[in-house]
Structure 1
Amino acid sequence: MASPREHGQQPVEEAAGDQQEYTTVLTDPVNFNVKHPLFSSWTLWYDHGGKRLTSAQSWEQNLKELITFDTVEDFWGVYNNIAKANELQSGANYHLFKKGIRPMWEDTANARGGKWVFQLQKQRGADINDYWLYTMLACIGESFEYEDEICGAVVSLRKGFSRLALWTRSCGPREMTEHIGRQFKGLVGLNMQIEFQPHSDASKSGAHGKDKYVV
């Protein structure tokens, strides 16, 4: 009987060996060859704080765009190769926002919005790493029911505490805003109260909204 090779056919063993073997980051964190696209592209920003900035212009000049990514694997590549949140110097901030949205009140996507905020005292500084990671994963995984409302998130290191904020596109209606707040707490595993602050209040020194949202 003639062999498969004599008829120009490739043996089954060889044919199977020529097929590309797909490897994900879950099975090989270094030599993976498959990437999982995100629903949106996200940009990581950084500002180092340092000396007190006296104007919005000088703050914007201090803001650095680090990288934009659009796959799960690229996110982990970034996360695993930058300083953790609690390692930032006092006054510094990481900002993770959807591509095209700058992490500032003046951006049109943020102008009418606000943020859900919570703080951790210095003695719980390491906890901020987990909360920041879970917040980023919730954002890039588009885990919120009102996903179109999510603009980004900010983690800030200060002398005696750390702060984390989830930025939204609008301040209402109240039921929707509070639902986002409750989801935020659940997604990051938070068991403390958080407060919603409209950007219009935060931009005015000493101003506080009459109708505070707390969940």
Structure 2
Amino acid sequence: MTDSQEIKTVLDDATDYSAVHALHSQWTLWFDNPLKRTNTSTWTANLKEIVTVGTVEEFWGVFNNVAIAFDIPNGSNYHLFRKGIRPMWEDPANTNGGKWGYQFQRSIGEKVNEHWLHTLLACIGETFESSPDVCGAVFSNRKNCFRIAIWTRNASDEEACLNIGRHLKSVLGVNHQLDFLPHSEDSKNPLYVV
């Protein structure tokens, strides 16, 4: 669109409008099915880049036309990460980071889709106080639970990590403890708790 073209909104013309609303960052949706992976190289081959969005309209176009989180195959994951960051620990943006995660019992059913949507909106809307430290979000469909996680850039920045964890807890609307696990350690012991 050039500067000389008039930007129309749905308020001007309900059938012919051109306004788009840019996101602060572009975000890429990825999909993988870990049940098919046997080693790192096959996992990487199963990780599929679906689409990158840069506007609110593109986000809704994708969200409304991919399988809802509840319906992805058992063992599969959705990843929404900032453009240029791959959803793997080895990516330089993730290497020194970690993740906040929460597990929902399967009995929550399709309500988990709302929690995933709210997490995505918090990411693309940059509503985290420490948004630049948010690398992406992951939804995992597992046999016994659903998991939602936020991956961060810097596990050693306690203030940023705690801000992100508190906000995720609010976004998910849960009162239970959330744990932060750094990517660099193969540990079940959380570094931070909110």
* Contact 1:139–1:150 under 8 Å retained in 2: yes
Stretch moving more, 35-44 or 183-192: 183-192
Stretch moving more, 53-62 or 171-180: 171-180
Is structure 2 residue 3 aligned with structure 1 residue 23? no
Distance 2:79 2:17 in 1: 28
Stretches of structure 1 lacking an aligned partner (at least 5 in a row): 1-18
Alignment of 1:61-140 (within 5 A): 61-140=45-124
* Superposition RMSD in Å: 2.0
Distance 2:159 2:7 in 1: 48
Deviation string 1:162-212 (CA, Å, 9 cap, x unpaired) is 0000000011332331121001112332332211111122xx3xx334x63
Alignment of 1:1-215 (within 5 A): 22-24=8-10, 32-51=17-36, 53-201=37-185, 204=186, 207-209=187-189, 212-215=191-194
Distance 2:7 2:38 in 1: 56
Distance 1:170 1:24 in 2: 41
Deviation of 1:75 after TM superposition, in Å, equals 0.2
Letter in 1 for 2:173: G
TM-score (norm 1): 0.81
Deviation of 1:148 after TM superposition, in Å, equals 1.1
Deviation string 1:99-134 (CA, Å, 9 cap, x unpaired) is 000000000000000000000111113222011101
* Contact 2:7–2:19 under 8 Å retained in 1: no
Provide the aligned length of Structure 1 versus Structure 2: 189
Distance 2:79 2:144 in 1: 20
Greater CA radius of gyration, 1 or 2? 1
* Contact 2:99–2:152 under 8 Å retained in 1: yes
Distance 1:138 1:165 in 2: 12
* Contact 1:125–1:161 under 8 Å retained in 2: no
Distance 2:159 2:131 in 1: 15
Q: What secondary structure does 2:79 align onto?
A: strand
Distance 1:180 1:164 in 2: 14
Structure 1 residues 82 and 194: alpha-carbon distance in aligned structure 2, compared to 1, 3 A threshold? same
Distance 1:176 1:21 in 2: 38
* Contact 1:24–1:35 under 8 Å retained in 2: no
Letter in 1 for 2:20: K
Letter in 2 for 1:177: C
Distance 1:127 1:61 in 2: 31
Q: What secondary structure does 1:142 align onto?
A: coil
Structure 1 residues 167 and 158: alpha-carbon distance in aligned structure 2, compared to 1, 3 A threshold? same
- Percent sequence identity is 49
* Contact 2:74–2:141 under 8 Å retained in 1: yes
Deviation string 1:120-167 (CA, Å, 9 cap, x unpaired) is 111113222011101111111111111110000000001111000000
Deviation of 1:20 after TM superposition, in Å, equals 5.6
Deviation of 1:46 after TM superposition, in Å, equals 0.4
